[in-house]
Chains A and B, each alone.
Chain A
């Protein structure tokens, strides 16, 4: 029949000979791979440059906000009570605060770019950089543990809710998640402390506020002291992820490809996990990466409530003390993680979704 002549898109022999394409496969594949890697490398390079630029913008903004809207005079704070004006002037001079703003910024940026130097705390003269690095393990302990808790709680709850939408279980889970999202971290933290901490709790179950020790010192104490912080920090995230997984999975289960999977005679379990969930989890991975980045910059509220000596606690203290180098340092540090997480997530996306190419 004349109309059956192959078109461009369909220019195929009706019966392909065995071994067709085997010769062409090698070179095509490697060409595709090198094109992919070079375009990915270019993409990552571009994103890194942008990231550096963004860090500059963030540092400039932090600087401006601190000096244009000063909360307190750092020199006066440092001079202590009953300080003479001379002493304050002297301190101001020694901190370099009497120099013009652009000079101060220039000096700061020179140190940062040339020596990766975040300056010295106005409060106690320690290096901000080494202070942040010494506090990083605590923040990582808190974030990583909470991440495990919220993923292990949020994803299964979301799946169960999605499989039986509007069932009793779903309603309970979604009602509970609404509560968890609405409960502020400091409130939830205090309630848990009042109920379960070994000092002020109704039931003396777990070590309370300020009991954190590094993992290397005492693993058991490290773990016990972090149980409540993990739960508190994970609560809102778990709830949010449960809702996100539920929504994504309900949407995915209505897709045509899920109908195809059922039509193939797959078990319902496989249809849900390999077909629905696979599609539903792609955006969750993105979200998880970003949240992890944000929290690594310091889980300010949780660290403050439980008095964990992490980066977030440091950021809080430095704001209270108008300690500019510490504020700038923690802000840049947080921005670094957020920008980094964004780049990692975007690159990762190309691996979990074959449709994404750079």
Chain B
């Protein structure tokens, strides 16, 4: 059984403008030591899914249904106090903007220590020693000195390293990284991804990597779920999805990646239209208004997420043969985007 398994998860927020269907029947799983990439635009429900796993969407205006099985326990059924013991210690999370995610008024050493002291009955001095060790492990130079630094005194990449140190200092089973590299320079992005990968392989942590950037996922993930309008559009192993992508939305994502090696006259192919409103989700397949392959069935009937082949599920009404043909054609025109071999 998978270490973390999300089954038919739905999250709704009741707002003044109406009910927001942020997550709608999502099922995902990640194994120990593996990386699940969740890809999608803003508002596709990927962050809400992660926050729900952490128990951070337990708000008065939120309705959560489904199951989040972690190590044999359904997290959604835990009391708040029990969930708090899992949060940070067994499932840790890092966020997009390391500037605003660290408290500006405390030193980074204090903040890492606090994470330790929240879950373990150790002395300040011991916590400090482990915080120092944690900062060294994520490659922070002059770690002893850095303990006394405030977040604003560090670069963006350093701050994200601090976040990672804080998340991993208690050696959690799962690390959820919500857009961990989006706010960083490209060169720093690669370093942070490599750091996560290294620490993961040392410790066997399961990683859930949330991103809008297929390139990031291609470099890091073992499994991928492409999310759209709070649902999973396509799910499978990284290599299957990259070799024969089968959902029109995934095709759109692949085509809209800017490429330096493309012929100069070639234009970018953005996906037309806007991400849908999650209050009034389009009928049938939520992607149909933006889909160039849509036909009469698409607005009428919502496609189920069905296995096209073993370990590769797609929610689309197009015939499998047709999807394969288009996916293969697309991929041969974009050949350069092979799963980049790590180092």
Interface residues, chain A, with chain B CB atoms under 8 Å away: 1, 3-7, 9-16, 18-22, 24-25, 28, 255-257, 259-268, 270, 274-275, 278-279, 282, 352-355
Asked whether B258 is an interface residue with its Cβ less than 8 Å from the other chain, the reply is: no
Query: Given the complex of chains A and B, what is the CA–CA distance between A255 and B101 in angstroms?
Result: 8
Asked whether B274 is an interface residue with its Cβ less than 8 Å from the other chain, the reply is: no
Asked whether B188 is an interface residue with its Cβ less than 8 Å from the other chain, the reply is: yes
Evaluate contact between A20 and B187: CB separation under 8 angstroms: no
Q: By DSSP majority rule, is chain B's interface helix, strand, loop, or mixed?
A: helix
A-B contacts, 21 listed (Cβ < 8 Å):
A1-B342, A4-B194, A9-B155, A9-B157, A9-B188, A11-B141, A15-B136, A16-B139, A16-B141, A20-B141, A21-B141, A21-B142, A257-B101, A263-B87, A264-B114, A264-B166, A265-B84, A265-B119, A266-B118, A282-B105, A353-B105
Chain A residue, CB-CB nearest to B198: A14
Q: Which 10 A-B pairs have the closest CB atoms?
A: A265-B88, A21-B142, A256-B100, A265-B87, A9-B155, A12-B141, A264-B88, A257-B103, A21-B145, A263-B93
Name A256's contact: one of B85, B101, B152 (CB within 8 Å).
B101
Evaluate contact between B139 and A15: CB separation under 8 angstroms: yes
**Quick one: given A263-B92, A264-B114, are A20 and B87 in contact (CB under 8 Å)?**
no
Evaluate contact between A259 and B101: CB separation under 8 angstroms: yes
Name A16's contact: one of B56, B143, B163, B188 (CB within 8 Å).
B143
Chain B residue, CB-CB nearest to A166: B60
> B residues within 8 A CB of A18?
136
The minimal Cβ–Cβ distance linking A116 to chain B, given in whole angstroms, is 41
Asked whether B69 is an interface residue with its Cβ less than 8 Å from the other chain, the reply is: no
Counting chain A CB atoms within 10 Å of each CB, which of B103, B104, B152, B342 scores highest? B103
Asked whether B293 is an interface residue with its Cβ less than 8 Å from the other chain, the reply is: no
Asked whether B127 is an interface residue with its Cβ less than 8 Å from the other chain, the reply is: no
Evaluate contact between A6 and B191: CB separation under 8 angstroms: yes
Query: Given the complex of chains A and B, what is the CA–CA distance between A262 and B54 in angstroms?
Result: 9
**Quick one: given A7-B188, A16-B143, A24-B145, are A275 and B103 in contact (CB under 8 Å)?**
yes
**Quick one: given A256-B95, A256-B97, A265-B84, are A355 and B150 in contact (CB under 8 Å)?**
yes
Name B187's contact: one of A10, A256, A267, A274 (CB within 8 Å).
A10
Query: Given the complex of chains A and B, what is the CA–CA distance between A119 and B105 in angstroms?
Result: 48
Asked whether B185 is an interface residue with its Cβ less than 8 Å from the other chain, the reply is: yes
Evaluate contact between B89 and A265: CB separation under 8 angstroms: yes
Query: Given the complex of chains A and B, what is the CA–CA distance between A13 and B139 in angstroms?
Result: 6
> B residues within 8 A CB of A353?
104-105
> B residues within 8 A CB of A256?
95, 97, 100-101
Asked whether B86 is an interface residue with its Cβ less than 8 Å from the other chain, the reply is: yes
Query: Given the complex of chains A and B, what is the CA–CA distance between A148 and B166 in angstroms?
Result: 39
Evaluate contact between B101 and A260: CB separation under 8 angstroms: yes
Asked whether B144 is an interface residue with its Cβ less than 8 Å from the other chain, the reply is: yes
> A residues within 8 A CB of B88?
263-266
- The interface bits of chain B over 88-111 (1 if a CB of A lies within 8 angstroms of the residue's CB, else 0) are 110011010100111111100000
Chain B contributes a number of interface residues (CB within 8 A of A) equal to 51
Asked whether B140 is an interface residue with its Cβ less than 8 Å from the other chain, the reply is: yes
Name A257's contact: one of B104, B141, B342 (CB within 8 Å).
B104
Evaluate contact between A10 and B191: CB separation under 8 angstroms: yes
Counting chain B CB atoms within 10 Å of each CB, which of A4, A263, A267 scores highest? A263
**Quick one: given A3-B187, A22-B144, A262-B56, are A10 and B136 in contact (CB under 8 Å)?**
no
Evaluate contact between A265 and B118: CB separation under 8 angstroms: yes
With A4-B194, A263-B95 given, can you name 4 additional A-B contacts, CB distance below 8 Å?
A1-B343, A266-B118, A278-B106, A354-B152
Evaluate contact between B158 and A10: CB separation under 8 angstroms: yes
The minimal Cβ–Cβ distance linking A152 to chain B, given in whole angstroms, is 23
Evaluate contact between A257 and B119: CB separation under 8 angstroms: no
Query: Given the complex of chains A and B, what is the CA–CA distance between A28 and B92 in angstroms?
Result: 34
Chain B residue, CB-CB nearest to A255: B100
Asked whether B115 is an interface residue with its Cβ less than 8 Å from the other chain, the reply is: yes
Query: Given the complex of chains A and B, what is the CA–CA distance between A192 and B104 in angstroms?
Result: 45
Asked whether B2 is an interface residue with its Cβ less than 8 Å from the other chain, the reply is: no
Query: Given the complex of chains A and B, what is the CA–CA distance between A1 and B198 in angstroms?
Result: 14
Query: Given the complex of chains A and B, what is the CA–CA distance between A353 and B151 in angstroms?
Result: 12
The minimal Cβ–Cβ distance linking A105 to chain B, given in whole angstroms, is 48
- In B214-229, which residues have CB < 8 Å from any A CB? none
Evaluate contact between B87 and A260: CB separation under 8 angstroms: no
